[in-house]
Chains A and B, each alone.
Chain A
Amino acid sequence: MTPSQNVILIDDEADLLKALRRLLKAEGFQVTCHQSAADFLAAPRPSGPGCIVLDESMPGMTGMELQRELVAEGSSLAIIFLTARGDIPMSVRAMKAGAVDFLTKPVKDKNLISTIHTALKKSLDLQALKKERDNIRQRFETLTDREREVLQNVVKGLPNKQIAALLGLVEQTIKVHRSRVMAKMRADSLAQLVLLSERLGITGQQSEAI
C-alpha cells in the first residue's frame, strides 16, 4: 500500500459512492468521495498521483465539463468515466479529451480496479511530465526577452548571421546571447535545446512567444 493510491469518486448517487468506497477501500485505495463536481473543485486536491472515477450525468456541472476544466488547468489527475447511460459519441469525446476509460454501470470490480491501476500509472507519468515541464519552464523564465527571441529563431534552425539580420544586431552579439541561452536552459547541444523547447510548446513552426 503506497500512499500515492488516491482515488476520487464523483457521483451524485450517494448509495453508489458508499458501495464503491467500500470496495475500493478493501482494495487498499485512498478513497475520497464527492457528490458533485462543484464539491470536488472546492475541496483540497491530494498531493501525488491520483485518479478520478467520474459520473457523466450529474446535476450541475457534468463529468465532461469537469474533465475539460481539469485538462485546461493541466491537472495530472487521470479520469475514468463511469456512467449509467453512455453512448458512443460521448465515449469518443471523453477518450479524445484524455480519459483513461469509459466504463458503464454496473461495472465488475476487476475491470474497475485494473482501470484504476492503469489510471494511477498514467497519473504518475503525467505528474513526472508535469514536473519536468515545470522545471524547463522555470529555466525558460530566467531568459531575458532578447534571449527568448534568439531561442525561438535558433530552434527554427536559422544561422546566427540571419538571426542577427532579423533582429538588427551584429552576429557577435547573437553568439553571446546564444551561449547564454544554452547555459540557462542547461542544454548541452542544439538538439537538446530543440527538445526542451518542444516540451514547452515552442516549435520551429511557431514564431509566437508563449
Chain B
Amino acid sequence: MDWVVIVWTGATSASLMLAAIHFFVWMRNRAALASLMFCLMAACTAGMAGCELAMMRVVNVDQLGPILQWYNIFRWGVTLALLGFMHFYLRAGRMWLELTVIGLRTFALLLNLLVSPNAYYSSIEGLSRIIFLGKPVTVVEGVPNPLMLVGQVSLLVLAACLVDTSWKAYSAGAYNRALRVGTSSVFFVLALSLQTMLVLWGVIEVPIMASLFFLGIVGVMAFELSEDMLRATRLADNLQQREIDLRRERKLTDSIFQGAPGLLYLQSRDGTILRWNKRPANPSEVVPTKIHDFFRSDDQHALGEFLEKTFAEGSANFELDLLHPNGSATRHFFSTVRIEIGEEPHLIGVGIDVSAEHALSLELDLQKERLARVSQIASMSELSSSLAHEINQPLAIILSNAEAAQRQLERETPNHNELREILKDIVTADIRAADVIRRLRSILNRGQPDLAIVSPTELLNSVLQILKTEIHSSGAIVSRKIPKRLPTLMADRIPVEQVLINLMKNALEAMHENGTRGKSLVLSCVSEANGIRFSVRDNGCGLPESADWIFEAFHTTKPNGLGLGLKICNTIIQAHGGRLWAENNKGRGACFHFHIPLRPDSP
C-alpha cells in the first residue's frame, strides 16, 4: 500500500468533491460568495495536492519546472480564496491589510514565475529519493533562495490579517465561528509556514505538503458551512412552524373579525380600510376602501374630528349614521382606539347599531318638547291672568274717575280744577293700561325674541317706575348700586323687565313681615364676563332650607300663587342664554341674581 498516493489522492478528491458541492451551492445562490470562495479554495487545494503528488514522483529535474509553476499558482489561489472566504464568511476585515496580503502573495507568485528556477531555490542541485511513509518519494535538493522569504512574510501577514478579521468578527458577536475559523486557519497557516521553512532550509527531510495544511483549513471551513446549512434547515423548520402558527393566528383574528357583532374595522392613518368584518352580500357591491365611504358627506367633518381625536388622545366615542350599500343609514355608536402596528399609528373601530335607542331618545326629546310647550302655555295663562289683573286696575281707575267727572259736570258749578285732575289721572291710567297690553302682547309673542339694544340702567329705571306704587305702599327703601359705565345688552326688553318686576315683587312680599326692622331692597348691576349680572337683594324672610325647587313649575309658598313666576323668569333668562339663581344672605333675606350675556350668541 502506498500511503503517499492514498493520502494525496484522497486529499485531492475530497477537496474536489467539496469544491463541486459548494460550486453548486453558489450556482443556486449567487449571493453566497463565501461558498464561491470556499469552492475556489478547495479546488486550489486539490490542485496543490495533485502537484505535490506529482513532485514526489518526478524522476528528473526538467519535469519539475512546470509542476512548480502550477503549484505556485494554486498556492496563490488558495491564499486569496482563504482571504476571500474569511472576508465574506465573517463579514469583517480591513481592506488595506487584505490588499497588502494580496499584493505580497501576487508579488511572491510573480517572483516564483520570473525568477529561475524559482523563488524557493537559487539553484536546484538535483533530486534525491527519501523514504516517506514507508515508500521512496522524490524531494528537491537545492540552495534555498533568500527571495522565498517574501512568500514566508506574506504568509505571516496573511496570518495577521486572519487574526485581525477573526478578532473583528469576534467583537461583532460571531464568537463561535470567528473562534473556530480564525484559530484553525491561523494555526494551519503558521504551521505551513514553519514546515516550509524547515523543509527548504533542509532541517527536516520531508516532501512539501502544504496542501494537507490547507486541507485542514478546508475541513474546518466545510464543517462551518455544513453547520450553517444545518442551522438554515433548522431555521426553515422553525419558519414553517411559525407560518403554521401565523396561519392559525390569522384564522383566529379572521373569525374574531367575522364573528364580531356590529361593525369592526381596522384603518390606517389616512383612513384606508385594511380590514373589516362585513362581506358584501353580492360581489357587484361597492366595497368601501376608505373609512369616509361609510358616512354621509354632511358627517365627514365630524368624522374627521373624531378620527383626529382618536389619533391624538388614543380613543374616542361618537354617534353617527352608518351608510349601507343600499343607501339606507342607521345610527351607530362608535368606539375607536389607536393602536401601533410596526410603529405606524392605526385605528380600530367598533360600531354598534343604536338606531332603536336613538329613535327612543328622539321620541323622548319630542315628549320633553311637548311638555315644555304645555308648561309654556300654562305659564302664559298664569301670566295673562296676572296681566289681566293688572289691566283691570287702570280700567277701574279710569271708569271711576270718568264717573266722578260726570257727576262734577252735572253740578251747577263744576269744579274745573277737580275735572282737570280727574282727566290727568285718566290719562295716566290709560297709559298704564296700554303698557300692560303691550307687555302682554310681547309675552304672548314670545316665539321670536325681539332683540334690541337695552341699557341696563334704563331697564332698572323703567322697572322702578312701573313698581312705584307697590314700593311706596310697602314702605320699602330701595337703593340702587349701578356703576356709571355699563355696556349695553342685546335683549328682549319687556320679558327681562318682567323678570325684574317679578323678582322685586317677590322681594317686597318676602319683607312684608319685617315690622320694625324696616324693609330694604337693593338693586344692583355689575358688568362681568361677557355679560351683566342683575341682583335683587332683600332683608325679608329668606328662602326655605332646601330651595332647589323654587325654579320649578307649580311650586309655591304663596297661598294664591300658581308657582310659575320664577319658572317663567328662568325660562326668559335662559332664552337669553343667561342664568338665574338665588341664595340666602348671610344676615337676613335672600338675593336673586341673573346673568345675561351681552349678545345672546356669546354665552
Contact = CB atoms under 8 A, between A and B. Distances in A.
Contacts of B403: 23, 108-109
Interface of chain A, main secondary structure: loop
A59 B508 contact: yes
A165 interface: no
B396 A23 contact: no
A105 B472 contact: no
A26 B407 contact: yes
Contacts of A16: 393, 396-397, 400
A104 B397 CA distance: 13
Interface in A69-113: 84-85, 104-109
Contacts of A106: 392, 395-396, 398-400
Nearest to B422: A22
Interface string B241-277: 0000000000000000000000000000000000000
B413 to A, nearest CB: 13
Max chain A CB contacts within 10 Å: which of B396, B408, B469, B560?
B396
Interface residues on A, range: 20 to 34
B205 interface: no
Interface stretch (A7-15, A118-126, A144-152, A201-209): A7-15
Contact of B560 (A19, A57, A104): A57
B129 interface: no
Contacts of A26: 404, 407-408
A19 B399 CA distance: 8
A22 B428 CA distance: 16
A108 B422 CA distance: 17
A35 B408 CA distance: 25
Contacts of B560: 57
B389 A85 contact: yes
Contact of B407 (A14, A20, A23): A23
Contacts of A22: 400-401, 404, 418, 422
Nearest to B508: A59
Interface in A32-67: 35-36, 57, 59-60
B546 interface: no
B367 interface: no
A43 to B, nearest CB: 16
B39 interface: no
A18 interface: yes
B555 to A, nearest CB: 20
Given A16-B400, A19-B404, A59-B473, 17 more contacts: A13-B469, A16-B393, A19-B397, A19-B401, A20-B400, A22-B422, A26-B408, A60-B474, A85-B385, A85-B389, A85-B392, A104-B392, A105-B395, A105-B396, A106-B396, A106-B398, A107-B396
A13 B473 CA distance: 8
Given A19-B401, A22-B422, A105 B392 contact: yes
Nearest to B512: A60
Interface of A: 12-16, 18-20, 22-23, 26-27, 35-36, 57, 59-60, 84-85, 104-109
B512 A59 contact: yes
Contacts of A60: 474, 512
B286 to A, nearest CB: 70
B393 A13 contact: yes
Interface residues of B, number: 33
Contact of A14 (B401, B473, B508): B473
Contacts of B408: 26
Nearest to B400: A19
Interface string B400-432: 110110011000000000100010010011000
Interface of B: 385-386, 388-390, 392-401, 403-404, 407-408, 418, 422, 425, 428-429, 469-470, 472-474, 508-509, 512, 560
Given A85-B385, A105-B393, A19 B473 contact: no
Contacts of A57: 389, 560
Contacts of A109: 399-400, 403
Contacts of A12: 469-470, 473
6 contacts: A14-B473, A19-B397, A19-B398, A84-B396, A106-B392, A106-B400
A108 B400 CA distance: 8
Contacts of A84: 389-390, 392-393, 396
A27 to B, nearest CB: 7
Given A15-B469, A19-B425, A109-B403, A59 B509 contact: yes
Nearest to A36: B473
A80 B474 CA distance: 23
Q: Which 4 A-B pairs have the closest CB atoms?
A: A22-B404, A105-B396, A106-B396, A19-B400
Contacts of A18: 425
A109 B398 CA distance: 12
Nearest to B390: A84
A21 B63 CA distance: 165
A39 B199 CA distance: 150
Given A16-B396, A85-B389, A104-B392, A23 B473 contact: no
A57 B470 CA distance: 12
A60 B519 CA distance: 13
A94 B474 CA distance: 25
Contacts of B472: 14
A19 B469 CA distance: 15
Contact of A59 (B385, B394, B396, B470): B470
Contacts of B407: 23, 26-27
A27 B429 CA distance: 23
A35 B470 CA distance: 10
Contacts of B399: 106-109
A36 B418 CA distance: 25
A27 B404 CA distance: 9
Nearest to A14: B469
Contacts of B385: 85
